[in-house]
Chains A and B, each alone.
Chain A
């Protein structure tokens, strides 16, 4: 059994603003958008921790060269197939809604990224991470760590069995809550496609309030982070199912050269 941690601040962020003030900032930035955007703003003050952590100079355009044209290779010596099931890592069953999350990792031309590493981490059903810095008063689950890995198949498919995470409070502002999400870490076929993101669940009432989700200012772009409930993925008497495809930036030019 894990010892109950002291209830101290989960974050050093100053929680001065109200949700109404944060929501007004979010709305102001959204109203000033003039073109389609595909990525979060690096400079996004409603997420307070970004203020001192975003570059202020323009990113330098570079043509990928040498090592950047390749991605690191991961294989079966790196990942055990059992690591894709987050519900079997302990002696007992974790508490919560068991679910399968599956989808494909694709490049920008729609081609599968095969045999590549996908990592996930998440809170438990009560919204608590097994992390020293998450110390809000929700229970840890002794049967749930919340970390998984898998390799994509030949068609780019990944598949995890896990527990639906709960929403959780954070210290960005007063009464700040994150929508339920899974963190995904994904590699492509090129170094330049490396990405980390978050997958959300359809219809979450916290979407409009959350400065991390809203940092992707274009709604068409941020909606790409929302999984789809898929009854064909749901298994009778066992688990619900969600489908979510991940499209990486650009096409893999090494694939083009060899095809």
Chain B
């Protein structure tokens, strides 16, 4: 295996480069199965992180992983399974998507001050699998979204007692 190219922080100035119109809307709000997936990103002092970038990647309602392009210029009909949202000035993010026919949505987190990307999973309420079951009980619920009036709520805590479980994969 060739040694990998190291990652680096996304830095403070991605805001004019990476976010794009339609990035957070995997489906239109008018879609019959549309659900809001939203939350806040918090640092180790509990302060909101206003310069984070989140990307989600997920299966469709039937559990099928999309294999089609069009995420950057959405046509309003094709479900591509991928979206990107930056946090606002109080650390909030919001996607419009559908609940996958699978236990979880994959999530990547970038931020100024975060030296490398972090991977995690957003499990649907009530979902379970071997990975989730194997986590210590006091940390498991950091990966499970809560259902609220708007849809699904999932906060990302970068550091501290309520720190989100972040993942590493073989080869990392």
Seen from chain A, the residues whose Cβ lies within 8 Å of a Cβ on chain B are 10-11, 38-42, 44, 47, 49-57, 59-68, 70-79, 106, 108-110, 117, 119-121, 123, 129-134, 145-147, 149, 183, 185, 191-192, 194-198, 212, 215-216, 220-222, 224-225, 245-251
Contacts and interface: CB of A to CB of B under 8 A. Distances in A.
Contacts of A129: 13, 16
Interface in B76-111: 80-82, 100, 102, 104-106, 108, 110-111
Contacts of B16: 121, 129-132, 145, 147
Contacts of A65: 129, 131
Nearest to A110: B2
Contacts of B166: 55, 59-60
B141 interface: no
Where chain B touches its partner, the secondary structure class is loop
B17 A77 contact: no
Contact of A73 (B67, B113, B119, B131): B67
A250 B3 CA distance: 9
A216 B67 contact: no
Given A47-B9, A50-B115, A196-B117, A119 B110 contact: no
B1 A108 contact: yes
Chain A at the B interface: mostly helix, strand, loop or mixed? loop
Contact of B3 (A38, A47, A194): A38
A44 B5 contact: no
A39 to B, nearest CB: 5
Most buried by A among B104, B163, B172: B172
Given A74-B72, A78-B69, A55 B170 contact: no
